């Protein structure tokens, strides 16, 4: 027995109780309810087995929603990380407005996604929005577009807003990672005549691996769980082009089909766990 522990074992009791009450019990209940026809219109609950899951996986419309969610998660994760690293590298140098720019780029992180959604609804407005106005001023009238109303551009338009919103958070994590890299490595590389790209490829990126891991996981989870931004900007439209798992769960739940929406929620939960653990495993394996 280890008698040198700073805290006694029963200190784990409180977090464990809270974890069980607020996570394990609701999750287990959710799993159980996803096999029932629980709904708002009928007080009786019947066991329906896997019928909800069969309905979801047999219906192309729900598969499209899963595909949209994956596209959204992957695209936002890649863009936020690539831009985040670029901005972190740029803002890790010494110059006068460095702190101001860091604050500026981090600012959207502090805003509510709902507020951002409302603002960007106006920004993208085909008649009065600033995007089309700027294109008009630049003489690019041919590019003016109904960005959120066209099935071909709506998802991309939402992805851009999400990237704009959270790229600052990625930047901050990368800046912290960059500051942890010892100057000795970079000085040694300079002496050996390494180019900037070689330093990035062989020193900075490998040293940033823990930051990359955490950013990848956080962004993938956030991407798979996206709701508020899509809800405000497009509500899943037009023609379901931006429909994601959480907006469907919300719509099914509010229509009163609790059991069915819980089944969708379970799929999302399992899906998110698989993706997050796979990424974590792959990244930590490489770190080892």
Partner 1 sequence: MKTRAKRLLACGLCLGMVAGALAGCGGKGDSTEGSSTSGDKSGKVLTVAASQNWIVDVDKELAKKFEEETGIKIDFQLSPDDQYQTIVKSKLNTGEGPDIFFSYSGTKLKDFNPEKNMADLSEEPWVAKLQKWAIDTSSYDGKLYAQNTAGVDDTNGVLYKKSVFEENNIKVPANYAEFKTACDQLQAAGVTPVYEFVKDLWHTHYWMEGASSLALANNPELYNELNTNKIGFADVPEFVTALEQLQEMEKAGYFGENHMSNIYDNSYDALASGKYGMIIIHGSYPNEMAMNIDGVNPDDYGMFVSPLVDNEYVTLTAGGTTKCINANSDNVDLAKQYFAFLAEDENLKTLYAEKTTYVSSSVEGIEASPTAAFTELMDAAGDKKNPGAEASVYFYDGGKISELCQEMFTGSLSPKQVLEQYDETRRALAKDAGQEGF
Residue 108: CB minimum distance to partner 1, A: 23
Rounded Cα distance between 218 and 205, Å, is 18
Secondary-structure breakdown of the chain: helix, strand, coil percentages, each rounded to the nearest 5: 70, 0, 25
Partnered with residue 47 across adjacent β-strands are 36
Residue 22: CB minimum distance to partner 1, A: 9
Asked if 21 is part of the footprint of partner 1 (rule: CB under 8 A), the reply reads: yes
Cβ proximity to partner 1, 170 vs 242, nearer residue: 242
Question: Are 203 and 185 contacting, i.e. CB atoms less than 8 angstroms apart?
Answer: yes
Asked if 141 is part of the footprint of partner 1 (rule: CB under 8 A), the reply reads: no
Cβ proximity to partner 1, 8 vs 139, nearer residue: 8
Asked if 41 is part of the footprint of partner 1 (rule: CB under 8 A), the reply reads: yes
Rounded Cα distance between 24 and 84, Å, is 35
Can you tell me whether residue 39 is helix, strand or coil? coil
Residue 37: CB minimum distance to partner 1, A: 6
Question: Are 217 and 129 contacting, i.e. CB atoms less than 8 angstroms apart?
Answer: no
Which tokens in the block code for residue 215? 């950013």
Asked if 65 is part of the footprint of partner 1 (rule: CB under 8 A), the reply reads: no
Sign of CA dihedral 233, 238, 240, 242: negative
Asked if 146 is part of the footprint of partner 1 (rule: CB under 8 A), the reply reads: yes
Rounded Cα distance between 16 and 3, Å, is 22
Rounded Cα distance between 31 and 24, Å, is 10
Asked if 35 is part of the footprint of partner 1 (rule: CB under 8 A), the reply reads: no
Residue 114: CB minimum distance to partner 1, A: 11
Task: Count residues near partner 1 (CB under 8 A).
Answer: 41
Site for partner 1 in 114-133 (CB under 8 A): 125-127
Site for partner 1 in 209-268 (CB under 8 A): 231, 235, 237-241, 250-251, 253-260
Q: Which residues bind partner 1 (CB under 8 A)?
A: 8, 10-11, 13-14, 17-18, 21, 37, 39-44, 61, 125-127, 146, 148-151, 231, 235, 237-241, 250-251, 253-260
């Amino acid at each position: 027995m280890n008698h040198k522990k700073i805290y006694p074992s029963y200190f784990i009791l409180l977090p464990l109780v809270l974890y069980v009450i607020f996570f394990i019990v609701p999750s287990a209940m959710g799993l159980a309810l996803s096999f029932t026809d629980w709904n708002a219109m009928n007080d009786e609950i019947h066991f329906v087995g896997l019928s909800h899951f069969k309905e979801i996986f047999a219906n192309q419309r729900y598969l499209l929603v899963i595909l949209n969610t994956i596209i959204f998660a992957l695209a936002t994760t890649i863009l936020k990380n690539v831009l985040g690293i670029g901005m972190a590298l740029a803002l890790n140098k010494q110059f006068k407005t460095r702190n101001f720019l860091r604050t500026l780029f981090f600012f959207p992180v502090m805003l509510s996604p709902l507020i951002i959604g409302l603002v960007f609804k106006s920004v993208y407005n085909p008649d009065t929005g600033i995007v089309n106005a700027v294109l008009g001023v630049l003489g690019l009238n041919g590019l003016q577009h109904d960005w959120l109303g066209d099935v071909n551009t709506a998802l991309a338009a939402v992805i851009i807003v999400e990237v704009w919103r959270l790229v600052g958070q990625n930047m901050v994590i990368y800046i912290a990672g960059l500051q942890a890299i010892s100057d000795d490595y970079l000085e040694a590389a300079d002496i050996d005549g390494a180019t900037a790209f070689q330093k990035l490829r062989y020193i900075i990126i490998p040293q940033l691996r823990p930051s990359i891991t955490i950013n990848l996981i956080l962004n993938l989870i956030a991407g798979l769980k996206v709701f508020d931004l899509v809800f405000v900007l497009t509500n899943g439209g037009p023609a379901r082009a931006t429909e994601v798992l959480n907006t469907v769960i919300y719509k099914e739940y509010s229509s009163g089909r609790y059991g069915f929406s819980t089944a969708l929620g379970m799929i999302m939960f399992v899906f998110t766990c698989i993706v997050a653990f796979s990424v974590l495993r792959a990244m930590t394996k490489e770190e080892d």
